[in-house]
Amino acid sequence: MEALFASAVGAMTAAGVYLLLQARTFPVVVGISFLSYAVNLFLFATGRLVNGAPPVIDAGAAVYADPLPQALVLTAIVISFAMTAILVVLALRGFLESGDDQVAAGRLGSDGKGEGP
């Protein structure tokens, strides 16, 4: 299970970083999502991987699953979901304002104000 888990985290991180380095906004958004999945799995693993163990005190249990990382992951999922929504809206709005979906700094003038406000 450990090998499967670790390679899943690794593969998703690699995919996320690769997509994050693209020049267009959509791959960047997908890359951020991949990275946050990888980090969520990673956080889950910080409580150690155990199978079928109870999270709350049980007289007959010898091993416990740590419930805290699950609470942390839940919070992280909510936050990254909201952030992805903001990012999508921002990318869309940027596309509508400028007519392209490039991530690059764009036509910033020497005064740094570009052609924007």
Q: Give the residues lining the site for another protein (CB under 8 A).
A: 20, 25, 28, 32, 35-36, 39, 42-43, 45-48, 56, 67-69, 71-72, 75-76, 79-80, 82-83, 86-87, 90-91, 93-94, 97-98, 103, 105-106, 108, 110-117
* Residue 32 φ then ψ, to 5°: -60, -40
How far is Cα of residue 61 from the mean position of the Cα atoms in its chain? 34
Give the CA radius of gyration of the chain: 20
The total number of residues written for the chain in this structure: 117
Please give the structure tokens belonging to residue 77. 């999922």
Q: Which is nearer to another protein, 8 or 91 (CB)?
A: 91
Q: How far is the CB of 60 from another protein (least distance, A)?
A: 18
**Conformational region of residue 49, where left means phi above 0, alpha means psi within -120 to 50, and beta covers everything else:** beta
Q: Which is nearer to another protein, 8 or 32 (CB)?
A: 32
Q: Which is nearer to another protein, 7 or 90 (CB)?
A: 90
